[in-house]
Amino acid sequence: MKHYDFIIIGSGFYGAVLAERLHNIGKSVLVIDRRDHIGGNCYSYEYEDTNIIVHKYGTHIFHCSKKSTWDYINQFGEFNRYQHRVLTTFKNKVYSMPINLGTINAFYGINLKPDDVEAFINSKRPHITNPKNLEEKAISLIGIDLYEAFIKGYTKKQWGIDPKDLPAEIITRLPVRSSFFDSYFNDYYQGLPLNGYTSLFVNMLQDIPVELNTDFFKDREYWLKSCGTLIYTGQIDRYFNYSAGKLRWRSVKFEQTVVEIDDYQGTSVMNFADEDIPYTRIHEPKHLHLERNFKKNISVIIKENSCIDHDDPYYPVNSDSDKQLLDGYQKLAKGEKKVIFGGRLADYKYYDMYHTIEAALDRFKTIVS
Ligand SMILES: Cc1cc2nc3c(=O)[nH]c(=O)nc-3n(C[C@H](O)[C@H](O)[C@H](O)COP(=O)(O)OP(=O)(O)OC[C@H]3O[C@@H](n4cnc5c(N)ncnc54)[C@H](O)[C@@H]3O)c2cc1C
């Protein structure tokens, strides 16, 4: 049995960053992943010979504010200058999101100026002192018209639950921009890796052994014995055999189609707010890479549907009962002296890529200090 300083369970950003950093200082590292590819949920691949890069687990746009994070990730591949803008279709008209001056003017057929927005929104908001649920909270923030158009149907499809039955605390604010600024992220750095995310992972994991199609739980004792420290980036409840119960996750399912057209929808991601349209979004990945030359008359489109599936984890549900469960598992994790837990699945948190990378870089500092 070969012995490693570190065995890392999971080749997503949390595992790959730690693998790269530890290898870089001369530690022996092995990465294992139960999937047949590296990169975790950021995995991308080129669709046949079309030159279109598809993100298998949903469109991923890299963004961050820290120069050190941007510099770190750029060591492994160059990025393009893509800037994300979210569009949403409601009753066959397209609006820009988050709600901004352009959205309000188009929706109400008016021509407000930036200074008019606050008073206009206030005039639409009923006074609700103690909103009892998400619907009341949203209406108290933006008024009934905008709520019914842009929040109600979309939220219902996302959660599979009527917003009247969702807790008010899910939203603390609903940003309304009083300018035409429609870039989704405020971060200074933004873009897509020119050759896709997988190429970044290939470069990060260069010279590091990786075993794919290998589930840690098939032989956990073997892996634990084979290393000084185990870094575990899988689901925390699974690590403890769900002894206190399962943490709940919202999931998404993707339905991919190839269409014989150069441009299907004119943008990378289109949201669909109408309740009677079953999917929440359509992704058209060629729009993420305008620098690429694509094969003519072909595009890949991917419809996204939301569902609850605790075994296919995307977004933590994070209810009070989940928080209590998590607390219990985190106490158990403290007792595992040889194991470091981290990443979105072990922390049971929604992390953007930059969060994940920064958390792994911080963890590396504590390992070497
Ligand atoms: C739909 C969607 C869209 C997103 N879009 C964006 C975006 O636009 N921008 C952004 O910044 N972030 C985005 N994110 C967040 C991004 O996906 C995460 O930040 C990132 O993937 C987290 O990396 P990770 O290493 O923690 O987890 P993961 O990428 O999930 O990696 C964990 C790895 O562990 C492996 N694993 C788990 N259990 C085992 C086991 N028992 N044995 C072996 N291997 C195991 C898994 O197979 C997986 O490869 C999005 C997330 C979702 C859900």
How do 210-211 and 227-232 pair as beta strands? Answer: unpaired
Round to the nearest angstrom and report the end-to-end CA distance of the chain. Answer: 29
My answer on whether 15 and 137 are in the same domain is: no
* Atom number, ligand 1, closest to the C-alpha of residue 16: 25
Q: Domains in the chain: how many in total? A: 2
How remote is the CA of residue 123 from the centroid of ligand 1, in Å?
A: 42
Q: What is the mean pLDDT of the chain?
A: 96
Can you read off the two tokens belonging to residue 291? 């620098």
Whether 114 is covered by a domain: the verdict is: yes
Distance between Cα 352 and ligand 1 center (Å): 9
Quick one: 8 and 150 in the same domain? no
Q: Which pLDDT does position 242 carry in this prediction?
A: 97
Residues 181 and 117: beta-carbon distance below 8 Å: no
Residues 119-134 have pLDDT tens digits of 999 999 999 999 999 9
Which ligand 1 atom is at minimum distance from the Cα of 63?
A: 11
Cβ atoms of residues 308 and 252 within 8 Å = no
Ligand 1 atom with the smallest distance to the CA of 38 is: 49
Euclidean distance between CA atoms 248 and 308, whole angstroms: 8
Q: Are 162 and 218 in a shared domain?
A: no
> What local confidence, expressed as pLDDT, does residue 306 receive?
94
Look up the domain containing 93 and give its range. Answer: 86-170
- Give the pLDDT mean for 177-200: 97
Residues with CB under 6 A from ligand 1: 9-15, 32-35, 40-42, 57-58, 60-62, 215-217, 233-234, 252, 314, 343-345, 351-354, 356
What per-residue confidence (pLDDT) applies to 230? Answer: 98
What is the DSSP annotation of 272-292?
E--TTS--SEEE-GGGG-TTS
Distance 365 CA to ligand 1 centre (A): 22
Tens digit of each residue's pLDDT (9 = 90 or more) over 138-163: 999 999 999 999 999 999 999 888 99
Using only C-alpha atoms, the chain has a radius of gyration, in whole angstroms, of 22
Rounded to an integer, what distance in angstroms lies between the CA atom of residue 233 and that of residue 109? 49
Give the model's confidence band at 26: pLDDT under 50 very low, under 70 low, under 90 confident, else very high. very high
Q: Hey, whose CA ends up nearest to atom 39 of ligand 1?
A: 234
In a shared domain, residues 156 and 226? no
Strand order from edge to edge, sheet including 269-272: 93-97, 86-90, 269-272, 281-283, 299-308, 249-259, 315-316
Verify that 156 and 211 share a domain, yes or no: no
pLDDT interval class at 171 (50, 70, 90): confident
Residue 343 CA: which ligand 1 atom is closest? 26
Letter string b/e over residues 20-53, b meaning 16 or more CB atoms within 10 A of that residue's CB: bbbbeeebbbbbbbbbebbbbbbbbeebeebebb
pLDDT at 88: 98
* 332-365 confidence digits (pLDDT tens): 999 999 999 999 999 999 999 999 999 999 999 9
The answer to whether residue 327 is domain-embedded is yes
pLDDT tops 80 at residue 298: yes
Residue 163 has a pLDDT of 94
d(CA 317, CA 309): 11
- Cβ neighbours of residue 364 closer than 8 Å, sequence gap 6 or more: 17, 18, 21, 22
Do 97 and 214 belong to one domain? Answer: no
Question: What one-letter code names the amino acid at 37?
Answer: H
34-50: pLDDT as tens digits: 999 999 999 999 999 99
Mean pLDDT, residues 69-74 = 98
**pLDDT tier, 172 (very low <50, low <70, confident <90, very high otherwise):** confident
Residues 100 and 219 occupy one common structural domain? no
**Would you say residue 98 lies in a domain?**
yes
Is the same domain home to 161 and 95? Answer: yes
Domain end call among 145, 170, 195: 170
Q: How many CB atoms lie within 10 A of CB 349?
A: 14
- How many other C-beta atoms are found inside a 10 Å radius of the C-beta of residue 60? 19
* 114 alpha carbon – ligand 1 mean position (Å): 39
Residue nearest to atom 14 of ligand 1 (CA): 352
If you measure from the C-alpha of residue 79 to the centroid of ligand 1, how many angstroms do you get, rounded to a whole number?
20
CA torsion through residues 291, 292, 293, 299, sign: negative
Would you say residue 231 lies in a domain? yes
Instruction: Judge whether 241 lies within some domain.
Output: yes
Reference 59, options 166, 244, 197; nearest CA is: 197
Is the pLDDT at 241 greater than 80, yes or no?
Answer: yes
Average pLDDT in the 53-76 region? 98
Residue nearest to ligand 1 atom 17, measured at CA: 41
Regarding whether 338 and 238 lie in a shared domain, the answer is: yes
In this predicted structure, the answer to whether residue 244 has a pLDDT above a threshold of 90 is yes
Contacts of 108 (CB under 8 A, 6+ apart): 145
State mean pLDDT over 198-218: 98
Per the CB < 8 A criterion, the answer to whether 240 and 334 are in contact is: no
Residue 253 in any domain: the answer is: no
Nearest residue by C-alpha to atom 6 in ligand 1: 60
pLDDT-based confidence at residue 249 (cuts at 50, 70, 90): very high
- Domain at 329, CATH number: 3.40.50.720
Q: Please say if the pLDDT value at position 1 is more than 80.
A: no
Report the distance separating Cα 316 and Cα 326, nearest Å.
11
Amino acid 224 reads L
CA–CA separation, 84 and 62 (whole Å) = 10
Q: What are phi and psi of 285, to 5 degrees?
A: -65, -20
Pair 236, 332 in one domain: yes
Q: Which two tokens stand for residue 331?
A: 């106490």
Residue 52, domain member (yes or no): no
pLDDT value for 32: 98
The percent of residues in the chain predicted with pLDDT above 70, rounded, is 100
**Alpha helices for the chain (secondary structure H):** 13-24, 67-74, 101-108, 117-124, 134-142, 144-146, 153-159, 197-204, 220-225, 236-239, 320-334, 344-347, 353-368
* Residue 219, SS3 per DSSP: coil
- Quick one: average pLDDT of 163-180? 90
Tell me which of 170, 193, 220 is where a domain ends: 170
pTM of the model: 0.96
Does 192 reside within a domain? no
- From 42, 192, 238, 355, give the residue whose CB has the most ligand 1 atoms within 8 Å, as the site to mutate: 42
Residue 292: the pLDDT is: 97
Tell me the two tokens of residue 113: 């100026």
| Per-residue CA distances from 304 to 56, 97, 98, 216 (Å) | 11, 18, 19, 29
**Average pLDDT in the 188-209 region?**
98
Q: Is the domain of 33 the same as that of 101?
A: no
Q: Compute the half-sphere exposure of residue 125: CA atoms within 13 Å on the CB side of its CA.
A: 18
289 Cα to the center of ligand 1, angstroms: 22
Domain CATH for 132 = 1.10.3110
Rounded to 5°, the CA angle 212-79-268 comes to 85
Same domain, 164 and 213: no
User: Per mean pLDDT, which range of 214-223, 308-317, 328-337 is the poorest?
Assistant: 308-317
Residue pLDDT, tens place only, 82-113: 999 999 999 999 999 999 999 999 999 999 99
| Residue whose CB lies within 8 A of the most ligand 1 atoms, among 41, 183, 212, 251, for a mutation test | 41
